[in-house]
Amino acid sequence: MHITDIKRNNKKNILKVLYSKGLWSKRRIANRLNLSPSVVTRLCGELLDQKIIIPYELIESPHAGRRETKIDINPDYKYGVGISINNKSTALLLTDLKLNPIATRVIATNQQPQLYFDKLITAITALVADNQLTLTDLLGIGISIKGKTDGTQSYYGVWEQPVDVKTPLTAALHLPVFIDNGVRCSAIATQLRHAKKDFVMMKYIEAGIGAAVVRNSELLYGQNHSLAEIGHTIIDPSQDYCPICKRKGCLESIISIERLIDNVRANFSLEKTPVLWENCLQDATKITLDTIIEAADAGSIYLNNLLKRNAELFAIAVINAKVIFDINDFVIIGNLFKSQKFTAYFNAALNQYQLSEINGNISIRTQESNQLSAVALLINQGLLEQLN
């Protein structure tokens, strides 16, 4: 590796430590990265000159006669806009460089791309101006998008045909624009905040089902940007074809939250779903994931059967992913894990379908900000990968 690359890599690692640990001394950073204190001091001096980091108060050192200065990411060095796009709505978030939220905005996702991008560009510029900033204050734009993307085009998940997302935004805003799908953005955010080197990220949320693989701190993509598309693996070939992946009985086409809500609305009645019938005031339009979870946890037989089926199929997908990727650490983000019943069914299925001990750790979170993970993508690609 060239000396310039080593220097750039060390700078990047210093910033990664600050993102995962917060306010830290240069000596502790040196120990963490196995670098000499003089190297860290020199590199931090360059980052201070660039105003990417800032010094804080002096702290007592364990070494007699010395005092240490803590350093941290400079939140005001640049700002970022994170955007989460699905087929129904687009959410925008303005943050500082430490990912502290400043302001939000939501617009509808228009199915006519040109009209949509005009509206999105207007929303971005208004969000920035309303907070006394200009576009030159931004590091760039990070976009978390539903479905398949190669970093420029959205192939499916939002529009019915492939759409170039990056070019119109770059041309209009004159800013760097970085795009990835939602689960990979979440994996990048987990790397940034928790410094994980090897893990599989899985998401089972209203936007869909997916996975991302990080090995040796590198996010893996595959030749077609489709690595770890767990949601579109075949789980029951007796079912119909998925309109997105064109495979028979893929996981997402059977147990997606959208499919769950559609099934419940189709069977909504006093006889079949009495608890939900009462909670939703006999109005099917009031059925949401939260009302389904509430009624299931209250003992609805029909809803518990649905959640049990979904939990079992998702558990099979997790076990299969562990076998295929051979990585111990799994991070799962799932809205349905807010349900005590669903969580119990999932854990029972893991034990039922694999008799041997499941290696490693499975950590579960019930929600995450897609917009914030889009800012993490921006910081990773627009700052960490651009250091000199």
Classify each residue of 236-259 as buried b or exposed e, where b means 16 or more C-beta atoms within 10 Å of its C-beta.
eeeeeebebbebebbbbbbbbbee
How far apart (Å, rounded) are the C-alpha atoms in residues 145 and 14? 29
Work out whether the CA dihedral 303, 305, 310, 314 comes out positive or negative.
positive
Contact 35, 10 (CB under 8 A): yes
Q: CA 265, CA 239: separation in Å to the nearest integer?
A: 20
Residues 6 or more apart whose Cβ sits within 8 Å of residue 211: 183, 200, 201, 202, 203, 228, 229, 230, 231, 321
pLDDT value, residue 66: 62
Q: How confident is the model at residue 198 (pLDDT cuts 50, 70, 90)?
A: very high
Report whether pLDDT(334) > 60.
yes
Q: What is the pTM of this model?
A: 0.91
More confident residue, 56 or 366: 366
Residue 85 CA neighbour count, 13 Å, CB half: 29
Quick check: helix, strand or coil at residue 56? Answer: strand
Q: What is the mean pLDDT of the chain?
A: 93
What is the predicted pLDDT for the residue at 59?
60
Pairing of strands 53-60, 67-73: antiparallel
Give exposure, 201-227, as e/b (b: 16+ Cβ within 10 Å). bbbbbbbbbbbbbbeeeebebeeebee
Q: Which stretch of 78-87, 346-355, 362-371 has the lowest confidence by average pLDDT?
A: 362-371
Position 359 confidence tier, pLDDT thresholds 50, 70, 90: confident
Q: Which of 131, 130, 157 is nearest to 144 (CA)?
A: 157
Q: What is the pLDDT of residues 136-165, one digit of tens each?
A: 999 999 999 999 999 999 998 899 899 999
- pLDDT at 186 > cutoff 90: yes
Question: In the prediction, which pLDDT does 357 show?
Answer: 84
Say whether pLDDT at 135 is over 70.
Answer: yes
Residue 3: the pLDDT is 82
Q: What is the pLDDT of residue 62?
A: 59
Question: What confidence category does residue 1 fall into, taking pLDDT thresholds of 50, 70 and 90?
Answer: low
Q: What integer is the mean pLDDT of 279-286?
A: 96
Residue pair 116/165 in contact (Cβ under 8 Å)? The answer is: no
Question: In a 3-state reduction of DSSP, which class is residue 383?
Answer: coil
User: What pLDDT score does 369 carry?
Assistant: 80
Compute CA distances 249 → 94, 232, 244, whole Å.
Answer: 39, 9, 11
Is 297's pLDDT higher than 80?
Answer: yes
Per-residue model confidence as pLDDT tens digits over 43-91: 999 999 999 999 986 666 555 556 677 999 999 999 999 999 999 999 9
Each residue's pLDDT tens digit, 209-267: 999 999 999 999 999 888 999 999 999 999 999 988 899 999 999 999 999 999 999 99
What is the model's pLDDT at position 10?
Answer: 93
Tokens in use for 346? 């999932």
What is the Cα–Cα distance from 307 to 144, expressed in whole angstroms?
28
Strand partners, 222: none
CA–CA dist 7, 17 (Å, integer): 15
pLDDT-derived band at 4 (thresholds 50, 70, 90) equals confident
Task: Give the residue carrying structure tokens 């089972």.
Answer: 204
Alpha-carbon torsion angle 313, 315, 321, 326, nearest 10:
-160
pLDDT beyond 70 at 336: yes
pLDDT of 263 reads 96
**Gap between the Cα atoms of 251 and 270, Å rounded:** 30
Residue 207 is predicted with a pLDDT of: 86
244 or 19, greater pLDDT? 19
Q: Tokens representing 68?
A: 């240490």
